[in-house]
Structure 1
Amino acid sequence: MELINWVIDLGPSVMMPIIFFLLALCFRVPIGKAFKAAMLVGIGFVGINLIITLLLESIGPAAESMVERFNLNLTIIDPGWPVAAAIGWGSPIVPFAVFGLILVNIILLFLKATKTVNIDIFNFWIFMIVGAIVYTLSGNIWLGVIASIVHFLVTLYIADKTASRIQEDYQLKGISFPHGTTAIFVPVGIAINWIIERIPGLRDVKADPETVTKKFGIFGEPMTLGALIGTLLGILAGFDVAAVLTLGITVAAVMVLLPKMVDVLVEGLNIIREAAETFLKRRFPDREFYIAMDTALLIARPSVLATGLLMIPTTLLLAVILPGNRLLPFTDLASLSFLFAMCAPYLKQNMVRLYITGIAIMTLVLYIGTDIAAGFTEAANLSNVALPSSFHKETELANLVGGATTPLGWIIIKIAGLLS
């Protein structure tokens, strides 16, 4: 566990290049080419993280200002996914859960029950936050481990089933996305799309980025959409003119730069993928394997990123009007694009359909977060997680983007509660 914690503490920007360098050597890639591929993956992650951090640091104050400006007095606070990750990695179940998840993946690969090689160890926290809450509520460490593994198994299944569609739509070969938050909402996107296809008029609305750009010209391009959405968010936040314009330019820059950083990462990934494909096909001619990746690669699509930004004020409105909701959206507001990134191919990258799906997803998240807040807060206390100084000790917690506030996470927590 000391070794695993040391690797995790490096962060994905360092951890992933090391993993990919070792993988490249295993697949007989020459050391110079392996180094180049690993460095490109690392540089891509650094670039993606820098731009996402820029987005979070720009949108975060706007979201906080909206919360204060609209005087949203709700009793459960969203501390953000970093706090949820700290709970997942700080729980007593960690030693057993981490090795259990890795062992389960190896067994499933051996039995040909999955195609996904899940090297995205950093995001194991998404499964372990569910296990941490189950352990906190039940006091049974093995029930917590089993809860994490069940969440992992369902996510692997969805990753395998969605891989070909996502690879084709995003032009990414040989990878899948066993992301315990994003993958779980794919069925919601499929269901929403099925309903929309049966509604005359609505089903005929074309709102994918290509159609919007073709119809509106420069006003439909990603940088213009980013500038308009950033400006709108600044106005809703009550910023002055200079701050509004700055936010507009910043969001426009994110819309343009993020896809370019993804291209750098994919360039390195393709070197390893091609070598892996050749190596594995020679030894396992009847098998196909996918390398697991973080959904950060998917949010660069203009349709996903733009819809995620539009969902910020929408989520705040939902928090106010939904009867019975007590969860105040806060830190995770800037990360909402992650929730429906894997849904986009099934919604034809249509921003209207994505927006409707976003409303459905956030409605589920707010109600689930309200319901599990007590367990989430206890898990945070048990893991000795440091919270922002602005948070009162008596405040209940539940984040928006994480495994526990998905329908699957909620079901697992409820079933575990009955078993305990």
Structure 2
Amino acid sequence: MNVINTIISMGPSVMMPIIFFILALIFGVKIGKAFKAGMLVGIGFEGIGLVIGLLLDSLGPAAEAMVERFGLNLTVVDAGWPVAATIGWGSPIVPFVVFGGLLLNLILLVLNMTKTVNIDIFNYWHFLLTGGVIYAVTGNIAISSAGALIHFLITLIIADKTAPRVQEAYDLKGVSFAHATSAIYVPIGIVVNWIIEKIPGLNKIDANPDTITEKFGVMGEPLTLGTILGAVLGILAGWSFTDILGLSVKVAAVMVLLPAMINVLVEGLVTVRDAAEKTLKKKFPDREFYIGLDTALLVGDPAVLATGLLMIPAALLLAVILPGNKVLPFVDLASIVFLIAMISPYCKKNMVRIFISGLVIITLVLYAGSDIAPYYTKAAELANVTLPKGIGSNTQMANLVGGATTPLGWILIKLSTIFR
């Protein structure tokens, strides 16, 4: 565990180059080329982290200002994914889930029951969070670990099933996304898209960014969409004209820079992927393998990012109007984009369809968070989590982005109450 904790603490931008460098050498890539591939992956992750950090740092204050401006007063505060990750990695089930997940993935690969080699170890916190909340309910390590591993297994299955469609939509060959924050919501995107196809008029709306750009030229380009959305969010926050302009430029910068950083990462990924494909085809001519990665690679798509920005005020509105909701969207508002990253291909990258799917997703998340808040708060206490600034010590917690408030996470947590 000391070794794993050391690796995890380095973060993806350090951890992933090491993993990809080793993988490249295993698959016969020369050391110089392997070094370059690994570093490009690391540089890409670092760039993605910096750009997403810019997005979160820019939108965080705007989201807080919206909350204050509209006088939202709910009893369960969204403490954000950093707190959620800390709860997951701070739970006593970590060694059982981490080594159990790696072993389960290996066994399924050997038995030809999965194609995904999930190297996205940092995001194991999604499964660990579900298990950590179950531990807060039951106090039983075996049941908690089993819940987390069931979550891991189902997400792995979804990663396999969605890989071909996602690869085609995002032009990313040989990868999949066993990412509990995103993968679990794919069925919702499929159902919503199917319903919209049956609704006259609504099924004719084509809000694909490529189509918008084709029709409106520069006014439909991602940088323009980012500028407009940044301005709208600044206005809703009640900011001054100069602050609104600053937010507009930063959001536009994210819309342009994030795809560029993803391209850097993909350049390194392609080297390892091609070498792996060549080697594995020789040994397993009838099999196909995917490298399991973080959906951060997908959020730079204009349809996903633009819709994610629109979901911020929508989430606040839902929090107010949904009867029985107790969750105040707060820290994770800027991270909502991750919830819709994998449904986009199933909604034809149509922002209207993605947005409607997003409304359904946020509704489910808010109700799940309201329901499990006592268990979630207890899990945070057991993990000795430090509350984010501005959250009172008597306030209950939940989060928008993470495994526990997904439909699957909620079901597993509710089932665990049988063993209290």
- TM tier relative to shorter chain: over 0.9
Match in the other structure for 2:301: 301
Match in the other structure for 2:244: 244
AA of the residue aligned to 1:174: G
1:18-417 matches, within 5 Å, as 18-417=18-417
AA of the residue aligned to 1:99: F
Q: Which runs of 4+ in 1 moved over 2 A?
A: none
Unaligned stretches of 5+ residues in structure 2: none
Shift of 1:391: 1.6
Shift of 1:419: 3.6
AA of the residue aligned to 2:152: F
What SS does the aligned partner of 1:307 have?
A: helix
Shift of 1:139: 0.9
TM score, norm. by length of structure 2: 0.99
Shift of 1:249: 0.7
1:362-404 CA deviation, whole Å, 9 max, x = no partner?
0000000000000000000000011124221111000000000
CA distance in 1, matches of 2:59, 2:21: 35
Unaligned stretches of 5+ residues in structure 1: none
CA distance in 1, matches of 2:222, 2:97: 41
What SS does the aligned partner of 1:108 have?
A: helix
AA of the residue aligned to 1:353: R
CA distance in 2, matches of 1:415, 1:74: 26
CA distance in 2, matches of 1:237, 1:390: 18
CA distance in 2, matches of 1:404, 1:216: 41
What SS does the aligned partner of 1:291 have?
A: strand
CA distance in 2, matches of 1:186, 1:364: 14
What SS does the aligned partner of 2:181 have?
A: coil
CA distance in 1, matches of 2:337, 2:19: 27
CA distance in 1, matches of 2:82, 2:32: 35
What SS does the aligned partner of 2:404 have?
A: helix
AA of the residue aligned to 2:311: M
1:15-72 CA deviation, whole Å, 9 max, x = no partner?
0000000000110100000000001000000110000000000000000000000000
Match in the other structure for 1:2: 2
CA distance in 2, matches of 1:80, 1:29: 40
AA of the residue aligned to 1:106: L
CA distance in 2, matches of 1:380, 1:265: 34
AA of the residue aligned to 2:191: A
TM score, norm. by length of structure 1: 0.99
AA of the residue aligned to 1:189: G
CA distance in 2, matches of 1:21, 1:41: 9
1:330-360 CA deviation, whole Å, 9 max, x = no partner?
0000011100100000000000001101101
1:105-146 CA deviation, whole Å, 9 max, x = no partner?
011001111000011000000001000111110011100000
CA distance in 2, matches of 1:416, 1:191: 28
CA distance in 2, matches of 1:32, 1:321: 58
CA distance in 1, matches of 2:330, 2:389: 15
Question: RMSD between aligned alpha carbons?
Answer: 0.6
What SS does the aligned partner of 1:182 have?
A: helix
CA distance in 2, matches of 1:9, 1:356: 37
AA of the residue aligned to 1:214: E
AA of the residue aligned to 1:144: S
Shift of 1:306: 0.4
AA of the residue aligned to 2:180: G
Shift of 1:81: 0.3
CA distance in 1, matches of 2:389, 2:346: 41
What SS does the aligned partner of 1:206 have?
A: coil
CA distance in 2, matches of 1:388, 1:349: 35
Shift of 1:101: 0.6
CA distance in 2, matches of 1:38, 1:173: 18
1:296-333 CA deviation, whole Å, 9 max, x = no partner?
00000001000000000010000000000000000000
Shift of 1:217: 1.6
Shift of 1:215: 1.4
CA distance in 2, matches of 1:419, 1:115: 34
AA of the residue aligned to 1:402: G
AA of the residue aligned to 2:24: A
AA of the residue aligned to 1:301: D
